[in-house]
């Protein structure tokens, strides 16, 4: 029985890895490189990933190209949840991986898209060249070819988004998911003066 499943997986993975449909999701300059990769000179179509879909329901890969801010984060999580399984994520560029140059003391930038959704391939660069994006897609194809669908389902089950959308329509900020422990990578100390800690935040 296992042999049959393995044989099916090989054919199935070969077919779907050579026909990736990415979602059009570009939030900053990495998007320009993504466009360049899909244009004639680099031609992402050679790897079967040229069909950039405008709807997440038709896509199985999201290339998060660019900086993700708190305002964009709910939209990204919603798009990710609307994609049919099996779904894959490429984090493109420094901002997507760690927050990039905004990582230190920005008030608005999400420090790594892996705090929102599970990432399969990290693609460093600021921004990465189109060849690098092609390399990331080849790496993703290799990953897809060596896994079974059952494993993928278990993986997605274990790596649910660590944040949740609020049911309150007036709340636009993503809330931490109570099922997951919030990891603190360090203490965020904004400002250059010791008096700043005493300052109160004024509510709107």
| Selected binder of other proteins within 26, 37, 110, 137 (CB under 8 A) | 110
Binder to other proteins among 40, 107, 157, 194 (CB under 8 A)?
A: 107
Q: Quote the least distance from Cβ 180 to other proteins, whole Å.
A: 8
Among 1, 3, 40, 187, binds other proteins (CB under 8 A): 187
- Tell me: does residue 162 bind other proteins (CB under 8 A): yes
Shortest CB 67 distance to other proteins, Å: 13
Work out how close the CB of 77 gets to other proteins at its nearest, in angstroms, rounded to a whole number.
12
66-95 binders of other proteins (CB under 8 A): 70-71
Helices 2-17 and 130-145: angle between axes, nearest 10 degrees: 160
- Of these, 55, 78, 108, 154, which contacts other proteins (CB under 8 A)? 108
Q: Nearest to residue 28, comparing CAs of 89, 94, 75, 85?
A: 94
Judged by the rule CB under 8 A, the positions of this chain that interact with other proteins are 70-71, 99, 103-104, 107-108, 110-111, 115, 162-163, 170-176, 182, 184-188, 190-191, 195-197, 199, 201-204
């Amino acid at each position: 029985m296992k042999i049959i499943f393995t044989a099916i997986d090989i054919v199935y993975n070969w077919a779907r890895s050579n026909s990736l449909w990415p979602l059009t999701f570009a939030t900053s300059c990495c998007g320009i490189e993504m466009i360049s990769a899909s244009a004639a000179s680099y031609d992402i179509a050679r790897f079967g990933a040229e069909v950039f879909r405008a709807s997440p329901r038709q896509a199985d890969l999201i290339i998060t190209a660019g900086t993700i801010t708190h305002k964009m984060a709910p939209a990204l999580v919603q798009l990710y949840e609307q994609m049919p399984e099996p779904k894959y994520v490429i984090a493109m560029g420094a901002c997507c991986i760690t927050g990039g140059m905004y990582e230190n003391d920005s008030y608005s930038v999400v420090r790594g898209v892996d705090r929102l959704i599970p990432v399969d391939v990290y693609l460093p660069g600021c921004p990465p060249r189109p060849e690098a994006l092609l390399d990331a897609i080849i790496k993703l194809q290799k990953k897809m070819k060596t896994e079974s669908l059952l494993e993928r389902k278990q993986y997605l089950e274990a790596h649910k988004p660590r944040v949740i959308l609020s049911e309150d329509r007036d709340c636009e900020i993503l809330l931490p998911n109570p099922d997951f422990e919030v990891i603190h990578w360090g203490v965020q100390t904004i400002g250059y003066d010791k008096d700043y800690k005493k300052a109160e935040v004024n509510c709107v």
